[in-house]
Amino acid sequence: MRPTHDTRHRLDVLAAYAMPALTAGAAGAVTGQQDLTAAAFTTIGGTSALVAALLGAALRRRPDPVRPARTPRVLAAAALGLAGAAAGLAVGLAAARWLPLGGPWPGRLPVDLAVSSAIAATVTTWRRRGGRTAPDTTPRTERQTS
């Protein structure tokens, strides 16, 4: 039995949270960086899951005819990855100015949010753009339909 689009979307979001959280958390534990370990399960994993959820929902709801059929998948993934990085950086810089200056969080936010957003946007776009194929528009005669 094939998973539904909703189930696939939920699994994508879960993977978008778990993979960066586990890898950054393990790196923080191995190197003894407690701030990286804490950020792995909050800003890094959370940002990645949020971007995957929002972008995946937008790409899933967007009708096929509106999408440019000639845009290569690698170009679309790169463009949305850069857009995700820019948006994450902007949010991170704004949040770093808004938060109090104590602790490592304000200094980490621009980098954590930008990198997490870029990776999540690139992977989500790559998966979503590759999953759909163009409809078959070949005209069929009466004998070819059986």
The encoded tokens of residue 50 equal 């949020």
7-47 residue pLDDT tens: 877 888 998 999 999 999 999 999 999 989 989 998 999 99
Q: Which amino acid is at 43?
A: T
Which letter, b or e, does each residue of 26-55 get, where b requires 16 or more Cβ atoms within 10 Å of its Cβ?
eebeeeeeeebbbbbbebbbbbbbbbbbeb
Backbone φ, ψ for residue 114 (5° rounding): -65, -45
- pLDDT confidence tier of residue 136, bands split at 50, 70 and 90: very low
Q: How far is CA 72 from CA 78, 90, 125, in A?
A: 10, 27, 11
55-113 residue pLDDT tens: 988 887 766 555 556 678 899 999 999 999 999 999 999 988 887 766 666 788 899 99
Using alpha carbons, select from 19, 48, 42, 25 the residue that is nearest to residue 118. Answer: 48
Helix (H) or strand (E) holding 118: helix 105-131
From CA 19, how far away is CA 33, in angstroms rounded?
A: 18
